[in-house]
Amino acid sequence: MKAFIFDFDGLILDTEEACYEAWQEIYADYGTSLPLETWLLCIGTTNDACDPLGTLAKLSGRDINYNAVQTAHSKSFRAKSRLLPLKPGVLDYLKWARANGLQTAVASSSARDWVVPLLEENGILPYFDVIQTKNDVKTVKPNPELFIATKSMLKLEDFEAVIFEDSYNGIIAGNLANLYTVAIPNSLTKNMDLSAASHTISSLDLITPPNLLKMLEKGV
């Protein structure tokens, strides 16, 4: 194994929960709520998949100032996200990879100006050799383009890297890129069908990198 490739939202930081909470607060102001099953359509891809603004207008039956609502959500979401700790095990895996000569990357369907500042604020930006975001590709997950581009930049062959993902869209993209996929569901994605992953664990801190790699190589 030559590299670890990390998703960002919901995997390094639990930003997906923070984003959903910020939307729920706005929906509550309009006398309604955003169904979880609708929000799950967005996870691992773009908001176009569930259209939270259009859904708000439809469910509330009210005229929506889209720009004002989006601005309010972004402000709340960013404030919540800056308070989040790294998810358990992330830093340990990054340190282990660095100590053992593995390359590391982030491959995220989010924007670069969202991902990079939060990596920097949490002190882990220097650990990554490559960062690929939606700004670097034409199509995000579940299309494999993000992972294929990352794989190329790291000069990897098929199945020379492990992708850590929390969503169905990410797992499908990783499989299509011919890389090992490890599903680590969070509080929102735990009910998704992640069975296509090479392996599923509830948290990175529950298994050491060497033991995880042994399990993947044996197909356990």
Question: What pLDDT score was predicted for residue 45?
Answer: 80
- Predicted confidence band of residue 204 (pLDDT cuts 50, 70, 90): very high
Question: What pLDDT score was predicted for residue 9?
Answer: 96
DSSP single-letter state for residue 40: G
**Cα(113)–Cα(142) distance, integer angstroms:** 21
Instruction: Give the whole-number percent of the chain exceeding pLDDT 70.
Output: 100
pLDDT at 210 over 60: yes
Question: What pLDDT score was predicted for residue 91?
Answer: 98
Average of per-residue pLDDT across 39-45:
87
pLDDT in tens, 127-178: 999 999 999 999 999 999 999 999 999 999 999 999 999 999 999 999 999 9
Structure tokens at 164: 């850590």
How confident is the prediction for the chain on average, in pLDDT?
Answer: 95
Question: What pLDDT score was predicted for residue 42?
Answer: 85
CATH of domain 3-14+86-218: 3.40.50.1000
pLDDT at 48 over 90: no
Question: What pLDDT score was predicted for residue 191?
Answer: 85
pLDDT in tens, 55-101: 999 999 999 999 999 999 999 999 999 999 999 999 999 999 999 99
pLDDT at 217 over 90: no
Question: What three-state secondary structure class fits 18?
Answer: helix
Instruction: Give the whole-number percent of the chain exceeding pLDDT 90.
Output: 92
- Cross-sheet strand order for the sheet of 180-183: 130-132, 103-107, 3-6, 161-165, 180-183, 199-200
Give the active site residues.
Answer: 7, 9
**Cα(93)–Cα(134) distance, integer angstroms:** 24
Question: What pLDDT score was predicted for residue 172?
Answer: 97
Question: What pLDDT score was predicted for residue 76?
Answer: 97
- Structural domain boundaries of the chain? 3-14+86-218, 15-81
Average of per-residue pLDDT across 202-209:
96
Alpha helices by DSSP H, listed for the chain, are 15-29, 36-39, 52-60, 66-81, 90-99, 112-121, 145-153, 168-176, 209-218
